[in-house]
């Protein structure tokens, strides 16, 4: 059996997340507050929705809840996973679990990442349901949407498009004509796209000031859909800002391990739903 922990990213946030964890781990919460300069518990439980959905705060809140959820699960079950993966921001919790950095160092990196991404300028993201990514690319090409990138390859039938808001909105009707649905995401930036190039350059400088530890368990990288190799964590975290999250391929890799048993660690069950779609598509016979 292969125990796999999956860590959700920014789309999993909700008011009330982590409620049962903050009182259980006050020393870790105080350490997080010291990094942030505000109460992460207050942010998660009582902050106005517009603050919690601001990526500068969302990323920090989700990382802390993911990390505390991991600590709590291992402490309760006594089982350290054999492999981990995280979706976008969730990759930082996966790296924390694997020993790349402690909770505080990870939060410092996440806070810097969030600030750089928020400062990259306006943009938009659109989830396209019911079309494979190759077909999404074809529709975008036909629509002349050269400024758009595929940001998240979430499942064989769910792809997220990212780019300047006018271009995303212009491409919407062409995508809607063929997809089961197109859903604008509640984000203010074009994450995982070329619009994050400036943020990526700034984040490279941030990472240069940190020493990252050797991974104790395999972490599947968003950029490669394969386990990180020694010495490449910083480089792939920089590339993650401008390249797509290859989630389908990541899960297919993990499904190929001996008897994988998955647990979503953090708020919500978004990744569990995507994994179900990927399992079904992977198991379906090729006609």
CATH at 218: 3.40.366.10
* pLDDT one-digit tens code per residue, 34-45: 999 999 999 999
Q: How confident is the model at residue 275 (pLDDT cuts 50, 70, 90)?
A: very high
Shared domain for 23 and 163, answered yes or no, is no
The model's pTM: 0.96
Shared domain for 128 and 166, answered yes or no, is yes
Integer Cα distance of 276 and 248 in angstroms: 11
Residue in the structure block whose two tokens are 């808001």: 165
Integer Cα distance of 131 and 176 in angstroms: 10
Integer Cα distance of 226 and 275 in angstroms: 16
| Res 282: pLDDT | 81
Least confident of 12-16, 61-65, 74-78, 232-236: 12-16
Shared domain for 131 and 100, answered yes or no, is no
Shared domain for 11 and 38, answered yes or no, is yes
Q: What is the mean pLDDT of residues 100-109?
A: 98
Shared domain for 34 and 68, answered yes or no, is yes
| Res 284: pLDDT | 56
Q: What is the mean pLDDT of residues 214-233?
A: 97
Shared domain for 92 and 217, answered yes or no, is yes
Shared domain for 87 and 166, answered yes or no, is no
Cβ neighbours of residue 193 closer than 8 Å, sequence gap 6 or more: 123, 148, 149, 151, 162, 163, 242
Shared domain for 29 and 137, answered yes or no, is no
Exactly one of 12, 69, 88, 250 is catalytic; which is it? Answer: 88
Is residue 273 packed enough to be buried (19+ CB in 10 Å), middle (13-18) or exposed (0-12)?
A: middle
Shared domain for 231 and 264, answered yes or no, is yes
| Res 117: pLDDT | 97
Q: What total number of domains does the chain contain?
A: 2
Domain that residue 170 falls in: 124-184
Shared domain for 114 and 140, answered yes or no, is no
CA angle 8, 10, 16 (to 5 degrees): 85
Residue in the structure block whose two tokens are 């859903």: 183
69 is catalytic: no
* pLDDT one-digit tens code per residue, 160-208: 999 999 999 999 999 999 999 999 998 889 999 999 999 999 999 999 9
Shared domain for 40 and 140, answered yes or no, is no
5 is catalytic: no
What count of other Cβ atoms lies within 10 Å of the Cβ of residue 19?
A: 12
Exactly one of 69, 157, 192, 250 is catalytic; which is it? Answer: 192
Q: Distance between terminal CA atoms of the chain? A: 31
What percent of the chain has a predicted confidence (pLDDT) above 70? 99
Shared domain for 115 and 240, answered yes or no, is yes
DSSP states of 117-160 as a string?
HHTT---EEEEEESS-HHHHHHHHHHTT-TT-EEEEEEETTEEE
| Res 51: pLDDT | 93
């Amino acid at each position: 059996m292969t125990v796999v922990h999956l860590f959700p990213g920014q789309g999993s946030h909700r008011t009330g997340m982590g409620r049962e964890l903050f009182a259980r781990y006050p020393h870790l919460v105080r350490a997080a507050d010291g990094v942030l300069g505000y109460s992460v518990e207050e942010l998660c439980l009582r902050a106005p929705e517009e603050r919690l959905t601001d990526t500068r705060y969302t990323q920090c809140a989700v990382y802390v809840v993911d990390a505390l959820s991991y600590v709590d699960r291992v402490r309760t079950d006594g089982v350290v996973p054999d492999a981990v993966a995280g979706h976008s921001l969730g990759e930082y919790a996966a790296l924390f679990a694997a020993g790349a950095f402690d909770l505080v160092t990870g939060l410092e990196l996440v806070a810097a990442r969030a600030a750089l991404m928020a400062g990259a300028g306006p943009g938009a993201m659109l989830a396209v349901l019911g079309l494979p990514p190759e077909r999404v690319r074809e529709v975008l090409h036909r629509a002349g949407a050269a400024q758009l990138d595929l940001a998240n390859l979430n499942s064989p039938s769910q792809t997220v498009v990212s780019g300047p808001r006018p271009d995303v909105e212009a491409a919407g009707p062409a995508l809607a004509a063929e997809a089961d649905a197109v859903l604008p995401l509640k984000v203010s930036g074009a994450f995982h796209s070329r619009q994050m190039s400036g943020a990526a350059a700034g984040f490279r400088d941030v990472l240069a000031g940190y020493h990252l530890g050797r991974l104790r368990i395999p972490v599947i990288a968003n950029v490669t859909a394969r386990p990180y190799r020694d010495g490449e964590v910083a480089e792939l975290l920089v590339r993650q800002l401008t390249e797509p999250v290859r989630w389908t391929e990541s899960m297919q890799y993990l499904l190929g391990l001996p008897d994988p048993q998955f647990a979503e660690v953090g708020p919500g069950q978004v990744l569990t739903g995507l994994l179900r779609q990927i399992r079904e598509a992977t198991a379906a016979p090729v006609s």
